[in-house]
Structure 1
Amino acid sequence: MTAGRNNLTTILDASGRLPVHAPARPLFGLSFEELSEALADFRLPPWRLRQVRHALYRQWAASWSEVTTLPQELRESLEKAGFAPGLPGIVETFRSVDGTERYLIAGHDGQTVETVWMPGGDGGEAGDGSGSDGAGDDRPGEDSGEAAYQRATICVSSQIGCAVNCQFCLTARLGIIRNLTAGEIAGQVVAVLKRQQVEMGRDRINLVFMGMGEPFLNYDAFMDAVRLLSDEVGIPVSRMTVSTSGIVPGILRFAEEPVRPKLAISLNAPDDIVREAVMPINRKWDIAEVLDAVRKVPLRAKERVTFEYVLLGGVNDQPEHAETVARLLRRANLPLKVNLIVWNPGPDVPYTMPKAEDVAAFQEYLVGKGVPAYIRRPRGRDIYAACGQLKRTVSG
């Protein structure tokens, strides 16, 4: 799973209350087949293995003492052998005035990663056309408010830090520290679900893989986490969205997946000149190459590809930029929609927020040209939880 598996580090458990030792042999993150292999020496019958799996992915147990379905002798044997549930722990919580919560969640080596809980969501799913949650019924040009989205969204990280180096993003200041394992990615979600006392099957949860890191640069672990969250935890892939900066090989692999989340592309510029200035990754794969790869992704009925567009004051938010974006996306020949994101400020990041009238005019122009466009509501900006602000900040 990870080189740091055998390190013992004092962290907090998933409830955020009791100090525990990070497990040397965590089971959380293993598929049923991997779980069977890991516990082969115990010679457990399949029904007993299913009880262990249920404890991990449905009961969300942080310790064997919580798993009363298992005999005391077996729990003691598992603990003695160094096995533990291994659910990642929430080390610190920050709460915004708008109800958003940002968490520092510990990995198996004691490194922390950031995860965000947004009650009511941020409108990012509006108009994606998947039909999983009614988003396809929203009209272009209208923001999606609390009345339209009575659910929560969890923003999930795939790496500690990021190698893509988008110039407007605080996470880029960290550089890349390491990839997260599938268990660490899925564990963020489960730790938050447990904290919020979410009831699966009743509460509506959306996942956006848009936190720290580039998911397609940690592709295998990301997709393993998707399968865990879908098959074991019970969150449909139709309620998951992954955002990529345009990693073409990853998009092409994604196109071959039989079961996958919805796709979002971080565009953020009208042309290659501006995009290369704000997103150096464009030097490797330009807009045309990204669009060619996206066209190979087979979309579900009524599904649309989302193009995320961070508006930077005076850089990419002017009428001529809107005109170029509209022309580019109309020629893309894709079922699509645009999420407009007002840039969220961060220390020492040399950009400014766009004017409100420029944001409105940009959206109005796109909609007028037949390009569905929605403005994502900023969530948790005051606690550095908004888009582009995640940097393991330890103060609200």
Structure 2
Amino acid sequence: MSNKINTVAEATSQPKPLFGLSLDELASLMEAHGQRPYRAAQLAEALYRQRVTSLEEITTLPSELRETFAAEGYAIGLPEIVQTARSVDGTERYLIRMADGETVETVWMPDGDGGERGDGSLAAEEEEDEERPGNTAKFPYRRATICISSQVGCAVNCQFCLTAKLGIRRNLTPGEIAGQVAAVLNRHRLDLGSSRGNPTPARINLVFMGMGEPFLNYANFMAAVRLLVYMRIPESRMTVSTSGILPGILDFAKETVRPKLAVSLNAPNDVIRESIMPITRKWNIAALFEALNTIPLRNREWITFEYVMLGGINDSLADAEELIALVRNMRCKINLIVWNSGPNMPYHEPSQAGVYAFQNKVIDAGIPAYIRRPRGRDIYAACGQLKRTVESDPVPAPLVEISSAASLRG
């Protein structure tokens, strides 16, 4: 599926999606149809802020123009939530189907998972304020985090991750990436803009930590970020996770509008890291850190290192000492993630006492370290557990919703 504009009517098997077109592309589309520039702004408002699902809902556009778009094969083109699983902790995992039948998984976490703590952002301030015992919350609203996929499957092949078992099928387009967010926001009927009737709009954090490696789909990922910013989600509320794709990191360092960065480190040296993350054979830790040092960190911006703890592999106090030496001179924090189990995986969780000892060792060295709380483990929605619920291709059979729980409002 392509975002290329085509105003000539064609007999195609799939509609041409409007959702996913950049503001410049929308302007070109309107110009090609003899429309004034303000029509592009009206269409952008309907697509990305009102999040309409059909052409008929765009009442700011003349009916004749909407009919022309429909005749030419255009449609809104939002991805579709076709299956939902709801955890005991309120987390929801969605199977989301694209126009060609491919599916990815997206996760809704009410109140987040603690991943932003200590990164210097407003999202971190919100989390820390809510967790302060005996303190009246400073912020008069609820938060939620949406975990987004960037590819169908993943090519990186981290040995502890279920998504790796899928391999890679294709990249997602900007509209398919941002469209996951729109579909989830519509499900929960959330308003991201202030208005007289809603002075405290929902606060949504986004993490590009679902299926796929965002930096192996870099152009589409960054185009989606720009769409999401227009949807009123600032980049300071977004975090992108990479396994260490050096060309992507170097490009990311040059961006003026960019999310916060989290690096999936998971080991204190190349020997351990290569055994669980084969990508290390191409770019070792020294090269990774050299690339990270090219990023001009903004005020209150820290790099997050994600460290999945695997019992008996990377969780010893000696490993903690190596990790401390590795990151000591960087403005960073460590997110410790206790491994989330999956079927036929040759790993086990570390002991709780071992996790706390590891954390305390890092903290005592003056490096912020947090234990990320798992969300949705019982429905395979936690970190490293995403794997397409339905794998019949190219078009999954009709699905029923696992949970019909009422919408959670922000």
TM over 0.5: yes
User: Is 1:358–2:354 an aligned residue pair?
Assistant: yes
- Deviations along 1:279-331, one digit per CA (max 9) or x if unpaired, are 0000111111111110110111121100000001111111111111112111x
C-alpha distance in 2 between matches for 1:142 and 1:267 = 29
1:353 CA displacement = 1.2
The one-letter code sitting in structure 2 at the alignment partner of 1:55 is A
C-alpha distance in 1 between matches for 2:209 and 2:13 = 26
Q: Which runs of 4+ in 1 moved over 4 A?
A: 3-6, 135-139, 146-149
In structure 1, stretches of 5+ residues that fail to align are 7-20
Counterpart for residue 189 of structure 1: 181
- Deviations along 1:13-42, one digit per CA (max 9) or x if unpaired, are xxxxxxxx9951111001111122234442
Q: Is the 8 A contact 1:22 1:108 kept in 2?
A: no
Counterpart for residue 340 of structure 1: 336
Counterpart of 1:387 (choices 383, 386, 406) is: 383
1:53 CA displacement = 1.2
C-alpha distance in 1 between matches for 2:348 and 2:132 = 25
C-alpha distance in 2 between matches for 1:79 and 1:376 = 46
TM-score (normalizing by structure 1): 0.90
Counterpart for residue 373 of structure 1: 369
- Judged with a 3 Å threshold, the aligned counterparts in structure 2 of structure 1 residues 255 and 196 are, in CA distance, closer, same or farther, namely same
The one-letter code sitting in structure 1 at the alignment partner of 2:164 is A
The one-letter code sitting in structure 2 at the alignment partner of 1:329 is V
- Judged with a 3 Å threshold, the aligned counterparts in structure 2 of structure 1 residues 272 and 301 are, in CA distance, closer, same or farther, namely same
C-alpha distance in 2 between matches for 1:132 and 1:255 = 22
- Deviations along 1:238-270, one digit per CA (max 9) or x if unpaired, are 111111001111101100111111111100011
Q: Is the 8 A contact 1:115 1:154 kept in 2?
A: yes
Alignment of 1:309-324 (within 5 A): 309-324=307-322
Q: Is the 8 A contact 2:107 2:146 kept in 1?
A: yes
Q: Is the 8 A contact 1:311 1:342 kept in 2?
A: yes
- Deviations along 1:65-113, one digit per CA (max 9) or x if unpaired, are 2222223222222111111111111111111110011111112311011
Q: Is the 8 A contact 2:268 2:320 kept in 1?
A: yes
RMSD (Å), alpha carbons: 2.6
* 1:134 match: secondary structure: helix
Counterpart for residue 408 of structure 2: none
The one-letter code sitting in structure 1 at the alignment partner of 2:2 is T
1:147 CA displacement = 6.8
Counterpart of 1:254 (choices 235, 247, 252) is: 252
- Number of residue pairs matched? 377
C-alpha distance in 2 between matches for 1:122 and 1:147 = 18
1:131 CA displacement = 4.1
C-alpha distance in 2 between matches for 1:75 and 1:222 = 29
User: Is 1:95–2:86 an aligned residue pair?
Assistant: yes
In structure 2, stretches of 5+ residues that fail to align are 7-11, 194-200, 391-400, 403-410
1:148 CA displacement = 9.1
The one-letter code sitting in structure 2 at the alignment partner of 1:58 is R
State the identity as a percent: 61
C-alpha distance in 2 between matches for 1:113 and 1:207 = 16
Q: Is the 8 A contact 2:91 2:376 kept in 1?
A: yes
Q: Is the 8 A contact 1:128 1:337 kept in 2?
A: yes
1:64 CA displacement = 1.3
Q: In terms of mean alpha carbon deviation, does 382-391 or 127-136 score higher?
A: 127-136
- Judged with a 3 Å threshold, the aligned counterparts in structure 2 of structure 1 residues 133 and 321 are, in CA distance, closer, same or farther, namely closer
Counterpart for residue 394 of structure 2: none
* 2:221 match: secondary structure: helix
The one-letter code sitting in structure 2 at the alignment partner of 1:66 is E
C-alpha distance in 2 between matches for 1:336 and 1:3 = 37
1:360 CA displacement = 0.9
C-alpha distance in 1 between matches for 2:82 and 2:293 = 41
